[in-house]
């Protein structure tokens, strides 16, 4: 057990996925964690899973983490600031400007409030889905303001570091603009694509492969939660969607007039623009780095995937990313491994020598 950077008791308000995961991660460092929730059942479940202990009258937390639904953030943060006048209070909501404005209007003591947002999550919620490693390697935005003392910002950054996250200091407005582009709008795009599947035939759905599954993966997220998130960042998301609609209109125009001069070029330029956008996404450890892909065909038998990983370890090949595709009834699965380009040829050669079938 490594020594925690966070000192004293940490109080977590809200025992859903994020709150319980914070508790599990801190408990792994031996931190005294208190878990409370408006739902007594959820709080008890989080405690039973090891995310912390129930509150006591003598609690004097040094740090409070508010992990409640977005539309309740400001109210709960204000209540915690008032109840514990010596504590630093942060929250993990995915929109930062609206709660800050609401808190300012309420007259709350903003000198002890440091908004933050870990960019991590799962499609499933609740304490039962919580994981101590949920934040490992993920960015954790800490919203700085000119009037905030450095020690209070550092306390929230220490929380992020203890949980294995990467602290990123950012202004609240810049944060909201950023997540609108990389999180909130993609949620809607994924959802709209998934809606098209509602009227699809069983025959069409039976052909679904990695492409449609990748695009629609996040469409299974909680609608009630996303209505709150999108409502709090509505104007920025709408602006991005208007630009997206413009791009979509251009593509539709080209397809409807595919034999007109310039239509195919327009499609090619749109697709190339997508390539360029993907190339800008940070790779592992935050580097702008492209990885090479190795596609391995795996027999549909128990233990094959474990054997592949074990042999890659023996070969000294680090897997930078991994994706598995397996259609129901198929006798093989397709494992796509991302490796650094320098080891691509060796990986293919060594796996082939060990009897693995490589596609492409």
- Tens-digit pLDDT profile for residues 160-173: 999 999 999 999 99
- Give the tokens for residue 50: 């090891």
Who wins on pLDDT, 185 or 288?
185
Question: Does the structural domain 10-170 have CATH classification 3.40.50.720?
Answer: yes
pLDDT of residue 360: 65
Q: The pTM is what?
A: 0.80
Q: Give the 3-state secondary structure of residue 359.
A: strand
Give kind and range of the element (H or E) at residue 293: strand 292-299
Distance, in Å, from the CA atom of 322 to the CA atom of 272, rounded to the nearest integer, reads 24
pLDDT of residue 330: 61
Q: What is the mean pLDDT of residues 184-208?
A: 94
Q: What is the mean pLDDT of residues 322-344?
A: 79
pLDDT at 271 over 90: yes
pLDDT at 286 over 60: no
pLDDT of residue 126: 82
pLDDT digits over 72-115, tens only?
A: 999 999 999 999 999 999 999 999 999 999 999 999 999 999 99
CATH 1.10.3660.10 location in the chain: 177-279
- Give the tokens for residue 286: 């935050």
**DSSP 8-state assignment for residue 47:** H
pLDDT of residue 180: 97
CATH 3.30.70.260 location in the chain: 287-359
Q: Give the 3-state secondary structure of residue 180.
A: helix
User: Phi/psi at 222 (nearest 5 deg)?
Assistant: -65, 115
CATH 3.40.50.720 location in the chain: 10-170
CATH number of 287-359: 3.30.70.260
pLDDT of residue 331: 73
**Largest CA-CA distance found in the chain, in angstroms, rounded:** 76
Question: Does the structural domain 177-279 have CATH classification 1.10.3660.10?
Answer: yes
Q: What is the per-residue burial (b if ≥16 Cβ within 10 Å, else e) of 96-132?
A: bbbbbebbeeeebebebbbbbbbbbbeeebebebbeb
Distance, in Å, from the CA atom of 291 to the CA atom of 341, rounded to the nearest integer, reads 6
């Amino acid at each position: 057990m490594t020594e925690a950077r966070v000192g004293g008791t940490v109080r977590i308000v809200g025992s859903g996925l994020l709150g319980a995961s914070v508790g599990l991660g801190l408990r792994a460092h031996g931190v005294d964690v208190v878990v409370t929730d408006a739902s007594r059942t959820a709080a008890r479940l989080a405690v039973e899973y090891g995310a912390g202990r129930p509150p006591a009258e003598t609690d004097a937390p040094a740090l409070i983490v508010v992990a409640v639904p977005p539309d309740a953030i400001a109210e709960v943060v204000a209540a915690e600031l008032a109840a514990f006048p010596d504590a630093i209070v942060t929250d993990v909501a995915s929109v930062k400007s609206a709660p800050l404005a609401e808190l300012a209007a309420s007259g709350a003591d903003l000198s002890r409030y440091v908004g933050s947002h870990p960019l991590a999550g799962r499609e499933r919620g609740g304490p039962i889905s919580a994981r101590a490693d949920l934040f490992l390697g993920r960015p954790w935005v800490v919203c700085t303001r000119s009037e905030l003392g450095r020690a209070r910002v550092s306390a929230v950054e220490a929380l992020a570091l203890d949980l294995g996250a990467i602290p990123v200091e950012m202004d609240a407005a810049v944060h909201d603009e950023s997540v609108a582009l990389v999180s909130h709008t993609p949620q809607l795009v994924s959802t709209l694509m998934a809606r098209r599947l509602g009227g699809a035939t069983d025959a069409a759905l039976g052909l679904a492969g990695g492409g449609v599954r990748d695009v629609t993966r996040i469409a299974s997220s909680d609608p009630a939660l996303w209505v709150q998130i999108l409502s709090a960042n509505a104007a920025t998301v709408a602006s991005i969607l208007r630009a997206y609609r413009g791009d979509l209109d251009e593509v539709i125009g080209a397809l409807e007039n595919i034999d007109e001069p310039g239509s195919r070029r327009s499609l090619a330029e749109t697709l190339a623009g997508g390539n360029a956008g993907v190339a800008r996404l940070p790779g592992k450890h935050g580097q702008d780095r492209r990885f090479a892909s190795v596609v391995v065909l795996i027999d549909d038998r128990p233990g094959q995937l474990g054997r592949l990983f074990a042999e890659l370890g023996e070969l000294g090949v680090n897997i930078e990313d991994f994706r598995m595709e397996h259609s129901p009834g198929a006798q093989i699965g397709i494992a796509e491994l991302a490796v650094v380009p320098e080891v691509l040829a060796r990986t293919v050669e060594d796996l082939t020598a060990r009897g693995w079938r490589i596609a492409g």
